[in-house]
Amino acid sequence: MKKILLFILAPAFLFSAGGVFAQSTYLSDYNFQLDQYRKNFAEYTNFKKDYDDRPTLNNEQKALLSAKQTIISRELAWANFYLVLSESIGKPGVTYPVINKAATDLTGIANYHFSQAGKAGNIATRADLTSFTQEELTVLASHRLPVAQSQVANKLVQLIKFQIDAKTAYDSIVGKLEAVKNEVVVKNGLDQVQTYSAQINGQIEALAKKTTGFDLNESNQGQFYRDSTETLRTVRNLQYRLVSIIIDLDTNYVRH
């Protein structure tokens, strides 16, 4: 009983929600809007150059309209990008504080960009465009932190799902090993499962805590990504060994 409790030390406050997600079109929408943006941006670059060379009212109007179209496609591309990320986080159906926060943040950011796409339609003058872009730059800066946290959450959710699946696998074979559980090989295998599980849970908890407490003003985002990648790699390697042992026990010591 103690061993089983140890195995689920970290996942004690997470559970599989088992949610069913409808087939998403976010990725195709994102790709479509990205293409639109590239076309619009190429046009905007040309019109802006014309306007810079010959600042007539006609050229200004063309550049302004082109800028509006570019911004609209950019905002829609951003919104769909964040929805793709949010969907990826929600798909495994895992509930965990840093993951819940990431999903909420991403939905908020996506809604902001949808709203900005609507607002961009109201741009009528050069001043409107400048004002819109300046406001956008300020808000985008505030999105950097939740986006960085969401990137880590997106990876964490997959590892937590692996851990839940490994736990299910372990539970399904442990009863069948009752007859041979005192044999040296089996005993060692079960002990190693406990050890790896405790290490994995500890690493996941530590990374989740670090991600929640991450401060962009104090830390470098690149370094944060590098450190997190290293921890994720460590957890993945431990999980690989854990599942290898479970498979070994299942294949060689469980009667089928």
Q: How many CB atoms lie within 10 A of CB 144?
A: 11
The neighbouring-strand residues paired with 82 are none
| Piece of 16-24, 103-111, 212-220, 245-253 that binds another protein (CB under 8 A) | 245-253
Contact 196, 240 (CB under 8 A): no
Q: How far is C-alpha 28 from the geometric centre of its chain's CA atoms?
A: 18
Asked if residue 95 binds another protein (CB under 8 A), the reply is: no
Kindly tell me which of 2 and 79 has the beta carbon lying closer to another protein.
79
Show the binding pattern over residues 134-173: x = contacts another protein (CB under 8 A), - = does not.
x-xx--x------xx--xx-xx--xx--x--xx--x----
How big is the chain by its Cα radius of gyration, in Å? 25
3-class DSSP state for residue 183?
coil
Asked if residue 207 binds another protein (CB under 8 A), the reply is: no
Q: Which residues bind another protein (CB under 8 A)?
A: 34, 37, 41, 44, 48, 51, 60, 63-64, 67, 70-71, 74, 77-78, 81, 84-85, 88, 126, 129-130, 133-134, 136-137, 140, 147-148, 151-152, 154-155, 158-159, 162, 165-166, 169, 180, 183-186, 225-226, 228-230, 232-233, 236, 239-240, 243-244, 246-247, 250-256
